[in-house]
Every structure is written in structure tokens, then in C-alpha cells.
Amino acid sequence: MINLFWRIFLSFWLSLILLSTLGTQLLSTLHQTMSPTQLIPPQQEFVDRVMMRLNSFPLDELERKIIHHRHPPLKKIWHIKAADQNDSLSKQPNAIQHLLNQDPQKVGMMRDAQGLWFGPFPLSQSSGLIILQTERSPQLDPRFLPQYPFFKLLFLTLSSILAALLVSYFLARPIKQIQQKVALISQDLTTRMDKTLTQRTDEIGSLAIQINQMAEHLQKLVHNQQQILWDVSHELRSPLSRMQTALAIAEQNHVIDPTHERLQKEVTQLDTMIQQLLLLGRLNAGLQKLNQEPLHLQDLVQQLIEDMEYEYQKPLLFQMDIEHDLELPADPLLLAVALSNLLKNAWQHTPIETSVWISAKTSASQVEIQVTDQGTGVSSALLNELFIPFKRSTQSSTGLGLGLAISKNIIELHQGSIHAENVKTGGFEVTIHLPYNAQQTV
């Protein structure tokens, strides 16, 4: 297995070497041609002008011009005499050799690190040939690239940036994939890393494998926990039923004990908890069916409030702001459980002589339901944990801490969302969003 450190080091190093090599070859290619090429119009005009002047001089003056000429961009005039042309050819620069080896009737151009070479040109005064060597300039060479240190530094900088981008891409890509999968695992423990990650032979591959193992272990723990709750809840139903039967028989036989009412209350509370456990187990296991039908929201909330008043044997202060004709597709029994949990939770935490507010408003695609109390709220650290089973806002809270967890599962079963927050002016608010199609409900 190649260590990730060495992968990064070698990738960056090899990328720099490769880019530097390619860049050097590219610059070398720009600076030279392997065979003579035809002259472009600016080059043709330049050599015509030079040769016209050279041919206008007598032979002795021409020799002096050739030796002493130093007028840029012309660097040097090479005079290849006919007598020693073949003998001295091997001693001449490669560019001159290439130009002389081509068709004598054809004028060409060569490019190398020393400049541009034009020729061969015949002389009218003698049988020799002329080769013109010039500097590289934008006027004569379309490939002209100034040889300043700045351009070399710029090339190295761009090469290093490109190499770093390549390495960063190949390193960041799998890490981003892992981040996306971890986010999915936090919502669904059945999610696993892709094989492209687990089959890697570096630290990233090892990390992906360990995350898969962790997710599998957590999935087993959660499954075992749910199975235990499911089994215990089922086992408790039988003795609970016998207790309820015994209490009913005692009441029929007028065997009234001072603790009878207290015992009846405890049994009822225990029955409610067991029903909550069983419902939560079905929701988590995906066994709970959803039977949707048009539901009149205001009537449902009003019925829930009346049930609570009957249960607590006293009038309760609830304020409703719900459209009278608002209907939404939902499972009546499940949505009643979800809203009942929220209303009871709000009533238990709002101060005496204060109201619990429940409102609903619609848009084109959703209905928003809010339940707000006027209590002290919840610490910010607990806000994101309130919908976790068995999580209670305070140690003094009654119940098992299943109500909000059940409500969350029911709302999500309806393809909705739920979140809680503290009200700035004081209190606690739970907001529900459910799918809603205004056209279908008209």
C-alpha cells in the first residue's frame, strides 16, 4: 500500500517534472524549426530590401559591408563562396547547412536559439551565396517570445499552480465523496461507501472501510435496541391487560379501595407509554401504513383540545388561527397523534393563565402549522436533540420522552418536516411543514 503522503509528494513532484519538460520542449519548438520553411510576407519584404542593397554594391565594398554590418535586426551576413562551399559546409552552423542542402532555387527560413536564418541568396557580383542571420523580433517572427526572467518565472508559477490543482482535485474528490456519504449515513444507517472508495489501497480507502464498519455496527445497535423495545412492549401488554381487567372487576363488585383511583391512573399512563413504544417501533421499522384522506384541520385540532379538556377535567386556554375551510391530505389517526403530542407538550410547559397558540397557513406547495407556548423555552444545546427518542427537555418532565420523536416520524411519513426553536420574546415553538396542493383541495 502506497502511503497517502508519498502519493501526494510523488504526484506533485512528477507533475512539476512533466509540465517543466513539456514546457521546455514547447519553448524549444517555438524557438526552432527542423527544416526550412517558406517566407511570410514581412520576411520576404525584409530580405528583398536587404538583398537589393547588397547587390547594388561593388564586390570589394560588399565584402566590407558583410564584415562590418551591425544594423538590427540584421545580426550577421554570411557569405558562402563557391570555391570553398563544399569544404566549409560542415563547419557552418546547422541552420546554414539545412538551408544550403535544400533546393538552390528555393529561398527558405530557419529558426533556432541564435535567431532567424534566411537564404540562400545568389549574388550578382560573384558566384557565392548569401545567408542572412537576424534577431528574433515581432516584425519578422510571429512566434516571437521575449526571453526575460519574468516570463520564465511566470511559466514556472503557472506550472506549479496547474500541478497543485491536479493534485488537489484527485485528493479532494474522494474526500468530498466521503463527506457526502457520511451526511447520508447520519440520516440512513443502511448507506455505505462506494466500492470506488473502499477498493483504494491508501489511507482514504482504509477510512472508507472503517466508516462502513462503523455504520454497520451502529445499524446493528439501533436494530437491537428497537427489537428490545418492541419485545418488551409486547411482553408488558399481557400483564397490563390483566391489571386493567382486575380493576374493572373490582369496580363492578364495588370493591373500592382508596388506592383504586391512583392505580387506575398509573395503569392508564403505563398503557399509553406502551402504545407509544409500539407505534414508534412500527414507524422506525417502516411497518406503519399511511392511509391518507382529505382532512379538515380546524375540526381535528378542536377535537384534540376537547379530548384534552376531558382528560384533564378542566378548561384549557388554546388560541387557534386556522382557516375554517383548510383541508389537507393526511392520515387522520396518525396526524392526530402527532398534533396531540405537540399540544400536550405545549400545555405542560406554558405558565398558568397563559394560552397555547396553534396556527396554520398555506402556500402553493405546503401548509405550515405552528404550536407555540409561553414557557421558558429549551436550552439551545437540546434543541436538536428533542426529537430523539427518550430525550426529555428537563429531568422533571413526565413521560418517556417519546412524544416529539413519534411526531417527527409521523410528519416525515407524510413527506413533511418538523423543527423546534425558542421564541425571542419568550416561549417555545414547533413548526410543521406538510405537502399541500391548493388546486387539488379546491
28: pLDDT strictly greater than 50? yes
pLDDT higher than 60, residue 103: yes
Co-location of 340 and 435 in the same domain: yes
The reply to whether 194 falls in a domain is no
Length of the chain in terms of residues written = 442
User: Over 70: is that where the pLDDT of 327 sits?
Assistant: yes
The Cα–Cα gap between 129 and 127 comes to 7
Q: Which helix (H) or strand (E) holds 429?
A: strand 428-435
Distance CA 303, CA 81 (A): 118
Q: Which of 267, 285, 303 is the last residue of a domain?
A: 285
CB burial of residue 255 (10 Å; 0-12, 13-18, 19+) = exposed
**Rounded distance, CA 191 to CA 212, Å?**
8
Identify the domain boundary among 103, 134, 165. Answer: 134
The secondary structure element, H or E, covering residue 142 is none
- Whether residue 257 is found in the same domain as residue 165: no
* Separation of alpha carbons 363 and 98, rounded Å: 82
**C-alpha angle with apex 188: 187 to 189, nearest 5 degrees?**
120
How do residues 365-414 score in pLDDT, each as one tens digit? Answer: 899 999 999 988 888 878 878 888 777 665 445 556 788 888 998 999 99
Residues 73 and 126 in one domain: yes
184 domain residue, yes or no: no
Whether 188 is in a domain gets the answer no
Indicate if 259 and 393 belong to the same structural domain.
no
In a domain, 305, yes or no: yes
What pLDDT does residue 146 have? 53
Look at residue 281 and tell me whether its pLDDT is greater than 50. yes
| The pLDDT value given to residue 82 | 63
Predicted confidence (pLDDT) at residue 439 exceeds the cutoff of 70: no
Same domain, 301 and 317: yes
CATH number of the domain residue 407 falls in = 3.30.565.10
The reply to whether 209 falls in a domain is yes
Number of domains in the chain: 4
DSSP-H helix ranges across 194-296:
195-198, 203-252, 260-285
The answer to whether 417 and 435 have CB atoms below 8 angstroms apart is no
pLDDT at 428: 92
More confident residue, 324 or 281: 324
**β-bridge partners, 119:** 108
The proportion of the chain whose per-residue pLDDT surpasses 70, expressed as a percent, equals 74
CA dist., res. 325 & res. 14, Å (int): 71
pLDDT at 442: 45
Q: Is residue 225 domain-resident?
A: yes
Give the contacts of 279 (CB within 8 A, at least 6 positions apart): 288, 337, 406
CATH number at 267 reads: 1.10.287.130
The three cell numbers of residue 258 are 382508596
* Residue 306 phi, psi (nearest 5): -65, -40
On the question of pLDDT at 429 being above 90, the answer is yes
Which residues have CB under 8 Å from 83's CB, separation 6+? none
Average pLDDT, the chain: 77
Residues 52 and 127 in one domain: yes
Distance CA(294)–CA(332), nearest Å, equals: 9
Q: State whether 129 and 161 are in the same domain.
A: no
Beta-strand pair 356-362/318-321: parallel
Q: Are residues 374 and 269 in the same domain?
A: no
Average confidence (pLDDT) over 217-228 = 78
Q: Is residue 246 part of a domain?
A: yes
Give start and end residues of each alpha helix (H) in 32-114. Answer: 41-54, 59-68, 85-88, 94-101
Q: In Å, what is the CA distance from 427 to each residue of 245, 287, 354, 360, 393?
A: 42, 35, 11, 18, 13
Would 76 be classed as within a structural domain? yes
pLDDT digits (tens, 9 = 90+) for 341-373: 999 989 888 888 888 999 999 887 899 999 999
- 121 and 105 in a single domain? The answer is yes
The DSSP bridge partners found for residue 429 are 372, 421
φ and ψ at residue 171, rounded to 5 degrees: -90, -40
The Cα–Cα gap between 34 and 100 comes to 14
For residue 259, give the H/E element and its range.
Answer: none
Q: Which domain holds residue 220?
A: 203-285
